[in-house]
Amino acid sequence: MAVALILLLVAVGSVLFHIYSPWWWTPIATNWSYIDHTISITFWITGVVFFAVIAFMAYCVFRFHHKEGRQAAYNPENKKLEWWLSIGTAIGVGAMLAPGLVVWHQFVTVPADATEIEVMGQQWRWSFRLPGKDGRMGTTDVRNVGSDNPLGLNPDDRHGQDDIVIESDDLHLPVGKPVKVLLRSLDVLHDFYVPEFRAKMDMVPGMVTYFWMTPIRTGTFDVLCAELCGAAHAQMRAKVIVEEESDYQAWLAKQKTFAELSGRSAVMKATYKSGGE
């Protein structure tokens, strides 16, 4: 029976494709392997249901396709069967939802020792900010944004003076330390997306969003934008370099603080002004 066979082949083929697919998730680089485990559980449960339903359907087509003299059975309902199927489905759903919610609880509970860093998106580039020596980031306001203050830091906030500002360059992170990634946007929605990190979150102008993670291996990772942000959405790129603490410190020492950057322009402004007078 060709139709039944093709239907069965679709089910078998899907399972085989899944097993042999060369396209699979990227090697994970953070603590979020829990998310991968939840996906695996979901694949197992949904895979079994998918195969069972399609195989049963194929069998019905094979066994009960029209022949001369066949008459269909007349059975409007079967309460018991319907209840058992509902209960079985509820159990399967629970088996996926429960681990999902447990992991989500971890995902939204930021550890107290996480270092805050900031990623800022604008059409169509990334900037980064680190808290500096005092370990605190200064306040910001989009109204402060100007050519000498691209991230809109509050110039009167002393916590912001030592903040390290990284413009048009890559972000470095030390391996093994939890970070809370604060996300801001100056213009439209963006989404800081590194597939190897698994975690991601939209960046929304007018508010600060966040996620947290602990990088677990060193390497260089592509940053992409995962929320449509206009014409050059696909070209909005940067890199994150996860490295050992010593390398990280060496890199950190070379970065400029907000005070240094704005100070430089303040000096220039003063020179311009005095020259004008």
Partner 1 sequence: MVDVPYDAIADIPPAEVAEVELYHPKSWWTQYVFSQDAKVIAIQYSLTASAIGLVALVLSWLMRLQLGFPGTFSFIDANQYLQFITMHGMIMVIYLLTALFLGGFGNYLIPLMVGARDMVFPYVNMLSYWVYLLAVLVLASTFFVPGGPTGAGWTLYPPQAILSGTPGQDWGIILMLVSLILFIIGFTMGGLNYVVTVLQARTRGMTLMRLPLTVWGIFTATVMALLAFPALFVASVMMLFDRVLGTSFFMPALVEMGQQMKYGGGSPILFQHLFWFFGHPEVYIVALPAFGIVSDLISTHARKNIFGYRMMVWAIVGIGALSFVVWAHHMYVSGMHPKFGFFFATTTLIIAIPTAIKVYNWVLTLWRGDIHLTVPMLFALGFIITFVNGGLTGLFLGNVVVDVPLSDTMFVVAHFHMVMGVAPIMVVLGAIYHWYPKVTGRMLDDWLGKFHFWVTFLGAYLIFFPMHYLGLLGIPRRYHDIGEVAFIPPSAHTLNAFITVVALTVGFAQMVFLFNLVWSLFKGRPSGGNPWRATTLEWQTPQTPPGHGNWGKELPVVYRWAYDYSVPGAAQDFIPQNQPRATPGVQGAAP
Residue whose entry in the numeric block shows the structure tokens 């069972």 = 52
Strands 209-213 and 125-130, sheet pairing: unpaired
Instruction: Report how far residue 212's alpha carbon sits from residue 199's, in angstroms, rounded to the nearest whole number.
Output: 8
Nearest one of 51, 43, 58 to 14, comparing CA atoms: 51
Nearer to partner 1, 69 or 275 (CB): 69
Nearer to partner 1, 105 or 254 (CB): 105
∠4-5-8 over CA atoms, to 5°?
85
User: What minimum distance in Å lies between the beta carbon of 210 and partner 1?
Assistant: 9
Rounded to 10°, the helix 2-20/33-64 angle is 170
Nearer to partner 1, 132 or 226 (CB): 226
Collapsing DSSP states into helix, strand and coil, what is residue 61?
Answer: helix
User: What minimum distance in Å lies between the beta carbon of 138 and partner 1?
Assistant: 18
Q: Phi first, then psi: what are they for 244, rounded to 5°?
A: -65, 155
Rg (CA), the chain: 28
Nearer to partner 1, 44 or 250 (CB): 44
User: What minimum distance in Å lies between the beta carbon of 50 and partner 1?
Assistant: 6
User: What minimum distance in Å lies between the beta carbon of 44 and partner 1?
Assistant: 11
Residue whose entry in the numeric block shows the structure tokens 């500002």 = 165
User: What minimum distance in Å lies between the beta carbon of 211 and partner 1?
Assistant: 8
Nearer to partner 1, 237 or 269 (CB): 237
